[in-house]
Amino acid sequence: MSAVAIPGQRVKANRRRLRLSRVGLHLFLSVLAFVFAWPMLYGVYLSLRPFSDIITNPAGPFSLPSTLTLDNYAYVIANSDMLRFFWNTAVITIPAVLLTLWISSMVAFAISKYSWKFNLIVLLIFTAGNLLPPQVIVIPLVKLYNAIPLFAPLSANGRLFDQFAGVILIHTTFQTGFCTFVLSNYMKTLPNELVEAAMIDGAGVFTIYSKVILPLCKPALAALAVLEFTWIYNDFFWALFLFVTGDKRPITAALNNLQGQYVTNMPQLAAISMLAAIPTIVIYLVLQRYFVRGLTLGAAKG
């Protein structure tokens, strides 16, 4: 490729320039990386400092710690119902992710493997809806949830409003839009001969879906599971407006009230923020590959 002969001196000059630009590049990137990481690093640091450290120091938190301790974590866990909020998060997030993947994989299977006339229309309805700002529909949704009766044990108050089931339902519905889009694109890349061969063997639609197609979609499903977990875990909006009972809110939405309680004690507020951040950061660090793949599966095909 670089078969063009270049006089020796120019090569040297070019190399020097290249090395200089590399140094500049790393300098730029490291400074930026520090700026990006700083608020999170500081959050960890502050959460480990005793409050007394900060109020006795004239420069407040701009000071060195007398000691680092986990007391703030112990305090907020013991005093703030955080464990309950985490439990609520699990009760909402896990079923919502599983339902989303199950339902969207069925829809995607049906519209991508059988030449339905409505194939494109279904996809458009889902994708467009998925892109709507949720605030556009929240008012009627609250009214609708209040009007829809629901029986125990799915509902404790006889309605869909202020119930886990209601929040799980809206997450599942919204996210089915995105996942169907991604999964149907993925399934289209699987050879149709697989379905045809199975049909010849007498397999029914459900067998083909569960025994032939679904196993082949494992990479896409894993990527989507990681992505959807993060998104639903991070939801603030729905849980804020579809619950009125504060005790039912998941951790992210509960931060709205927790903030008011702990704003006067910054180290404790930092501990709360870090606790709320840990699950998604751990998932991201451990399953980074899936996470990024999930995002790009959705984007690259668009």
* Sites for other proteins among residues 102-161 (CB under 8 A): 103-104, 106-107, 109-111, 114-116, 118, 120, 122-129, 131-144
CB 185 within 8 A of CB 109: no
* Residue from 77, 98, 165, 295 in contact with other proteins (CB under 8 A): 295
Q: CA triplet 123, 128, 129: central angle to 5 degrees? A: 100
**Interaction with other proteins in 184-203: which residues (CB under 8 A)?**
192-193, 195-197, 199-200, 202
Per DSSP, helices labelled H in the chain are 8-47, 51-56, 71-79, 82-113, 119-131, 138-147, 164-188, 192-200, 205-207, 214-216, 218-233, 237-241, 251-262, 266-286, 288-301
**Interaction with other proteins in 239-258: which residues (CB under 8 A)?**
240-241, 252-253, 255-256
CB of 289 to other proteins, least distance (A): 11
- Please give the Cα distance from 140 to 225 (Å, whole number): 29
Q: Residue 8, interface with other proteins (CB under 8 A)?
A: no
Count other Cβ atoms within 10 Å, centred on residue 138.
Answer: 16
**Interaction with other proteins in 11-70: which residues (CB under 8 A)?**
22, 25-26, 28-29, 32-33, 36-37, 39-40, 42-43, 46, 54-55, 58-63
Q: What b/e sequence results for 55-71 when a residue is b if at least 16 CB atoms lie within 10 Å of its CB, and e otherwise? A: eeeeeebeeebeeeeeb
Q: Residue 176, interface with other proteins (CB under 8 A)?
A: yes
Q: Which stretch binds other proteins (CB under 8 A): 6-14, 67-75, 214-222, 237-245?
A: 237-245
Q: Residue 214, interface with other proteins (CB under 8 A)?
A: no
x/- contact string, 257-286, with other proteins (CB under 8 A)? --x---xx-x--xx-xx--xx--xx-xxx-
